Amino acid sequence: MEQYKQPQAGERITLQNGELTVPDHPIIPYIEGDGTGPDIWAAARRVLDASVEKAYGSKRKIEWFEIYAGEKAYNKFGEWLPKETLKAIEDYYVAIKGPLTTPVGGGIRSLNVALRQELDLFVCLRPVRYFNGVPSPVKRPEDVDMAIFRENSEDIYAGIEWEAESAEAQKVIQFLREEMGVQKIRFPETSGIGVKPVSKEGTERLVRAAIQYALDHGRKSVTLVHKGNIMKYTEGSFKNWGYDLASREFGDKVFTWRDYDEVKEKHGLEAANQAQKEAEEAGRIIVKDSIADAFLQQILTRPEEYDVIATLNLNGDYISDALAAQVGGIGIAPGANINFETGHAIFEATHGTAPKYAGMDKVNPGSILLSGVLMLEHLGWQEAADRIYHAMDQTISQKKVTYDFARLMEGATELKCSEFATQLIENL
């Protein structure tokens, strides 16, 4: 880490017996991000620091350590994702990042995805909840309270694809047609090809983390969201492996829809409904499943029926933006990429770099800030986290908001990104 200036003060977070040990002055690496990243990060950092100070005085303080990825890394070191960045996150366990640009249709592959894959941060956890007063396109946004567990290491995001008409694509198509008996590639001469790996191990560690989270957080259900009717051996297997794991590892802590079907088969519908009701009353987690397209309409029409969601990478990407829109948009949707086995985590906004607003001090810093709040909770600094939740509620109720909310609210005062942060600090 010769190129990076590590802070003189502070100590490392360590892992002991599978648990993070967090010193009072932890060193936390951060990546500012591209586009609007510098604006939202500067605002969020001020609020995080102020809240920690307010909650703990001088006893606790985060020692921030800048590390680099994306355009800033390229301009400084000629690399998009320097090895030192990965090493710093490995060494310090917990990091936070702003959004990074990914060009469409060519150029570099996603650095966001690369960070998750290189560090094997297999869960992308995106909690979606409503803050009072936030403008929403739905009638009862307060019914949305879900935690999305998006698989983060495989699926179509593995980046195994070949461009149409390339020698590689032609070779794969030839192999599929001649050796695998594939007859259904409609336009073989001009097809690009993508491969979607989904494994049993990958599914199991994701579903295990989702059920454990549901148990630890007093949640009621875990829904496996898939498109298994069409992609039988990837998304369909995700569902089957998920149910297998739930019964095998969690036993009577869960009641699955497979259990329901079994009771129904043997004793009829009424008995099955009764068995599920008793399981719910006993606090068992209901493990169910939903096909992705139906799920996307049901989260609009019956959001109160869904709680923890476990899903594959691409479904999770769509679902997290769709659900975020229901509770005020991606400007306030937080996220965390976590390896629940090694303890490594990167907290990051759900949205991207919003390039048209870059450098305008305009966009909502809520998403990266609330990702920072998840980070405070992960460190066990709940008092500092709670102050920020409270300040968000207060500030939005006062109708002092950034442009994204102001354009949907009557009588709102539109604040710049930095002014919104100042207002939050006043309300801590």
Ligand X SMILES: O=C(O)CCC(=O)C(=O)O
Ligand Y SMILES: NC(=O)C1=CN([C@@H]2O[C@H](COP(=O)(O)OP(=O)(O)OC[C@H]3O[C@@H](n4cnc5c(N)ncnc54)[C@H](OP(=O)(O)O)[C@@H]3O)[C@@H](O)[C@H]2O)C=CC1
Which residue lies nearer to ligand X by CB, 26 or 37? 37
Q: Tell me how far, at minimum, the Cβ of 320 lies from Mg ion, in Å.
A: 6
Using Cβ positions, the residue closest to Mg ion within the complex turns out to be 317
Pick the stretch among 106-114, 135-143, 192-200, 389-397 that binds ligand X (CB under 6 A): 106-114
354: phi > 0 → left, psi -120 to 50 → alpha, else beta; which?
Answer: left
Which of 113, 210, 368, 369 contacts ligand X by CB under 6 A?
Answer: 113
Residues facing 159 on adjacent strands: none
> Which CB atom, from 6 or from 102, has the smaller least distance to ligand Y?
102
Question: Is residue 15 within 8 Å of residue 342, measured between CB atoms?
Answer: yes
Contact status: 102 vs ligand X (CB under 6 A): yes
| H helix or E strand, kind and range, residue 288 | strand 285-291
Closest contact distance (angstroms) between CB of 125 and Mg ion is 14
- Residue 98 CA to its chain's centroid (Å): 13
352 belongs to an annotated ligand binding site? yes
337 makes contact with ligand X (CB under 6 A): no
Whole-number Å distance between alpha carbons of 62 and 52: 8
Q: Which of 155, 259, 307, 317 is catalytic?
A: 317
Least Cα distance to 383 among 40, 57, 12, 16 occurs for 57
The encoded tokens of residue 290 equal: 């939903």
Q: How far apart are CA 370 and CA 350, in angstroms?
A: 10
Question: Which of 7-15, 108-116, 188-196, 289-297 is the region at the interface with ligand X (rule: CB under 6 A)?
Answer: 108-116
- Please identify, among the stretches 17-25, 110-118, 204-212, 276-284, the one whose residues bind ligand X according to the rule CB under 6 A: 110-118
Q: Are 331 and 406 in contact (CB under 8 A)?
A: no
Helix 83-92, helix 111-118: angle, nearest 10? 50
Distance between CA atoms of 383 and 26, rounded to whole angstroms? 16
Cα separation, 400 vs 412, in Å, equals: 6
Active site residue 59: no
Q: How far is the CB of 37 from ligand Y (least distance, A)?
A: 8
The active-site residue, picked from 227, 239, 288, 400, is 227
293 flagged as catalytic? yes
Is 39 catalytic? The answer is no
Helices (H), 180-287: 200-216, 237-250, 257-267, 269-281
Q: Please provide the size of the chain in residues.
A: 428
Out of 317, 348, 361, 404, name the contact with Mg ion by CB under 5 A: 317
227 in active site: yes
Q: Which helix (H) or strand (E) holds 348?
A: strand 345-348
Rounded to an integer, what is the distance from CA 94 to the centroid of its chain?
A: 15
By C-beta, is 317 or 404 nearer to ligand X?
317
Q: 57: annotated binding-site residue?
A: no
Q: Looking only at residues 273 through 332 of this chain, which bind ligand X when binding is defined by CB under 6 A?
A: 317
315 is in an annotated binding site: no
C-beta closer to ligand X: residue 52 or 363: 363
Known binding residue 378? Answer is no
> By Cβ distance, which residue is nearest to ligand Y?
352
> Which residue, 151 or 317, has its beta carbon nearer to Mg ion?
317
Residue 113 binds what, of ligand X, ligand Y, Mg ion, none (CB under 5 to 8 Å, by partner type)?
ligand X
Query: Measuring CA to CA, which residue among 99, 56, 80, 154 is closest to residue 347?
Result: 99
342 annotated ligand-binding residue: no
Q: How many CB atoms lie within 10 A of CB 209?
A: 21
By C-beta, is 321 or 377 nearer to ligand X? 321
Give the ranges where 57-158 is alpha helix by DSSP (H).
71-77, 83-92, 111-118
Paired tokens of 322: 């769709």
Give the residues lining the site for ligand Y (CB under 6 A).
36, 40, 99-102, 112, 329-331, 348, 351-355, 363-364, 367, 404
Q: At what angle are helices 257-267 and 269-281 packed, to 10 degrees?
A: 140
Radius of gyration of the chain (CA): 23
**112 assigned binding-site residue:** yes
Give the range of 53-61, 65-73, 107-115, 411-419 binding ligand X by CB under 6 A. Answer: 107-115
User: Among the options 68, 157, 213, 243, which is catalytic?
Assistant: 157
Residues marked as binding? 101, 110, 112, 116, 126, 150, 317, 351-357, 364, 403, 407
Residues marked as binding for Mg(2+)? 317
- Residues of the shown chain interacting with ligand X in the complex, contacts defined by CB under 6 A: 102, 110, 112-113, 317, 350, 352
Tell me which residues are annotated as active site: 157, 227, 293, 317
- Residues of the shown chain interacting with Mg ion in the complex, contacts defined by CB under 5 A: 317
Residues marked as binding for D-threo-isocitrate? 110, 112, 116, 126, 150
